[in-house]
Structure 1
């Protein structure tokens, strides 16, 4: 009798935790496991702002998939671009652009999320994201390039636009990105004697009335005070009306000369979700507390692409798209898959919130571990301790700790590598948002290659 085939789509926090738990929990030969991953690493997303600032090297936050598995999982190097749940086939575009059809008995959708954008003129062409390792590396090069070009320019208007930076999004990603990159440019400007440090301006913009409301009023105000004390201009209740190559127009009428717009205004589920004719909640697949997709045999979903009910809150609440939830959901889903194979009852996902950490660079941070509010050095110790312990491999832990120590002792470097310096670097190019099939295209492909399905 053929072994059941389990296909896990996505190598983020949810997918990798699910695979690791399956490898530990399944008896050898009990099932076949395959993982669809476009890259050979799991990205530790919360530390991307430190990569952009040069505190950490890109390799430090790219945790090798092959170091963290027990060689029982087959890794398919590609991206799932469609799923036919009736035929139980996943359509995959491999990194060579070859299209393959992978059959499954059980599929785990952990495809994650992409940067959420809006219908704002010029946004998708002129904004940079902070969702992928390539984007973080690009943003670092781009910011340092603006300093180099401003230093070489004799045009005051050009200097003004190159030395003004706008970050949109007052959540964790935007706040940490603005804080870390502001610190980078503040330190870097000492190497540019022709540049007046007062000309360098950072703006953090969010449509919400509060900065990081999840932290609570007290810690949110603390973070706001830290940013403003550094000279970052924080504008709340404001968004972008138009994005042009050399200026950004805000909804309050201000026009900022600017050639660097970093967009971190939230995420939305992977476009893979749209290949299903399934119910969604704010763009995420509506699943049961056991993370089953109702009406679809053998389909499970979790992480950023699924609206997993938050049973601790009730009233229809769903779990937010955070790494903390994704990892725990991955472990619970693996247990439920094993229970399904063994015809045992499934258990719902229930969590206990461990708290929140926000690293603002240097000695500044705000944290709320287990409900205890911290700021300054104690909060920084908690934030970095949490991130360090969450890294899965010892190699990653050594690299991150070494980078932190080296940066604390030797300071920043301001090397510009030239990464994609002559490319447009649009959001869709980094996140491949136009690579997915429609439900009709999925059915057409599977029908032509698998008649009768």
Structure 2
């Protein structure tokens, strides 16, 4: 009798946890295949530290083949699902197509940058969902400070050392916090014109920073940012973006060469193609993470609308904490459908959040206990080390070196502006020469 075929699409928090747990539960009694565009799991919460030059890129990546025993890795991006034929079509990294069959399918395709119909944003803004975007931002910020330091024109200097981040959620707040520390470190090595210093703006239409989190965390983050000189503007966003700057909704024009788009995420568009009920773009599933009408199909992570049994009538939010725990429950239920163990519903209460604001500053509320300052910083870093499925020693070593040695402010030139367009269904992949046409408004030498 042939072994059952399990296909997992996506290796984010949900997909990676599903694969790892299934490998242990089935004990090589099933053929597990993982389809993913990259050969690594990306630990997204530490991505702002990559952009700030604190962590090297490989520190936040975990090898799939090196950590997932008895799991076959197929590199490629899913672009079509046939539920009747039980097949998934994909495109490989070199453009070749392929088809994978399955007896059980787990959709864990995650999310992509959320776009809004604002003129110029798709052309001039960059997102922050993948490693290429973080590497690009690191180089871009470094280059702007270097050019600003050499500029003879005060207006050009001001324009280049002004940085605008849109979206004051978890990611945008950390990007602004870490970015401000990075530019301060850079100008110590390359001073700007007299009286000038880097300027960071954090914008959001919400009434407060990190509105989705505890209000005490929000106040702490806001206080730290303002104390450092970050211009935090709530109730304000971008009305139009141009090559020379951004027009704000309050009528002010801010001259800048940097627009970082962190307004949120939307489910991967792949789930729309399978013609099943959606909830705000997410695939509806039952409390067992199964797709109604197709018991052989499971979905978890950002692309799945999972009922929140702690809050009847609502769905679990699109957070890494939920996606990671989705993966474990999904694995148990897939295994149970094959006769290994029993299935369980997804039920989880948030244990709190941590927000690393750079240096020794952080905000945290583990188990609902509000913390700030040095203690919160220790809790935040301890949490990340415990949560990472690999590279803990290397990450801790980078943190130690950051505390002891000056930050290295150099451009690597690995990712160009046109390689990381905002409008991309695969932010984890950098666009390469010979690929799709460059979006209007981008420049290869940016």
Q: Same fold (TM over 0.5)?
A: yes
8 Å CA contact retained: 2:163, 2:199: yes
Q: CA deviation at 1:434?
A: 12
Q: Which residue of 1 aligns with 2:38?
A: 39
Q: Which residue of 1 aligns with 2:433?
A: none
Q: Which residue of 2 aligns with 1:21?
A: 21
Structure 2 Cα separation of the partners of residues 95 and 309 of structure 1: 35
Residue number among 353, 358, 379 corresponding to 2:355 in the alignment: 358
Q: CA deviation at 1:36?
A: 0.3
Structure 2 Cα separation of the partners of residues 61 and 199 of structure 1: 31
Structure 1 Cα separation of the partners of residues 160 and 326 of structure 2: 43
Question: TM (normalized to structure 2)?
Answer: 0.93
The size of the alignment, in residue pairs, is 430
8 Å CA contact retained: 1:114, 1:433: no
Query: Are residues 322 and 288 of structure 1, via their aligned partners in 2, closer, same or farther at CA, if it must alter by over 3 Å?
Result: same
Q: CA deviation at 1:253?
A: 0.7
Range with bigger deviation, 364-373 or 270-279: 270-279
Query: Are residues 90 and 196 of structure 1, via their aligned partners in 2, closer, same or farther at CA, if it must alter by over 3 Å?
Result: farther
Structure 2 Cα separation of the partners of residues 429 and 142 of structure 1: 19
Q: CA deviation at 1:344?
A: 6.4
Structure 2 Cα separation of the partners of residues 328 and 187 of structure 1: 38
Query: Are residues 8 and 434 of structure 1, via their aligned partners in 2, closer, same or farther at CA, if it must alter by over 3 Å?
Result: same
Structure 1 Cα separation of the partners of residues 427 and 60 of structure 2: 21
Structure 2 Cα separation of the partners of residues 164 and 341 of structure 1: 56
Q: Secondary structure at the match of 2:183?
A: helix
Structure 2 Cα separation of the partners of residues 27 and 44 of structure 1: 26
Q: Secondary structure at the match of 2:288?
A: coil
Equivalent residue runs for 1:54-453 within 5 Å: 54-70=53-69, 72-196=70-194, 198-314=196-312, 316-342=313-339, 346-393=343-390, 396-421=391-416, 423=418, 425-428=420-423, 431=426
- Encode CA deviations 1:296-333: one digit per residue, 9 max, x unaligned: 2411100000011111111x111111111111110111
Query: Are residues 73 and 421 of structure 1, via their aligned partners in 2, closer, same or farther at CA, if it must alter by over 3 Å?
Result: closer
Structure 2 Cα separation of the partners of residues 125 and 371 of structure 1: 41
Structure 2 residues not aligned, in runs of 5+: 431-446
Structure 1 Cα separation of the partners of residues 273 and 57 of structure 2: 32
Query: Are residues 241 and 18 of structure 1, via their aligned partners in 2, closer, same or farther at CA, if it must alter by over 3 Å?
Result: same
8 Å CA contact retained: 1:134, 1:430: no
Q: CA deviation at 1:245?
A: 1.4
8 Å CA contact retained: 1:11, 1:37: yes
Q: CA deviation at 1:172?
A: 0.6
Q: CA deviation at 1:197?
A: 6.2
Q: CA deviation at 1:25?
A: 0.6
8 Å CA contact retained: 1:204, 1:232: yes
Q: CA deviation at 1:148?
A: 1.2
Residue 6 of structure 2 is aligned to residue 6 of structure 1: yes
Question: TM (normalized to structure 1)?
Answer: 0.92
8 Å CA contact retained: 1:168, 1:261: yes
Q: Which residue of 2 aligns with 1:447?
A: none
Structure 1 Cα separation of the partners of residues 211 and 10 of structure 2: 29
Query: Are residues 4 and 148 of structure 1, via their aligned partners in 2, closer, same or farther at CA, if it must alter by over 3 Å?
Result: same
Structure 1 Cα separation of the partners of residues 195 and 180 of structure 2: 11
8 Å CA contact retained: 1:189, 1:195: no
Query: Are residues 433 and 186 of structure 1, via their aligned partners in 2, closer, same or farther at CA, if it must alter by over 3 Å?
Result: closer
Q: CA deviation at 1:418?
A: 1.6
Q: Secondary structure at the match of 2:247?
A: strand
Structure 2 Cα separation of the partners of residues 20 and 199 of structure 1: 47
8 Å CA contact retained: 1:132, 1:430: no
Q: CA deviation at 1:195?
A: 3.3
Q: Which residue of 1 aligns with 2:52?
A: 53
Q: Secondary structure at the match of 2:423?
A: helix
Q: CA deviation at 1:10?
A: 0.4
Structure 2 Cα separation of the partners of residues 400 and 409 of structure 1: 15
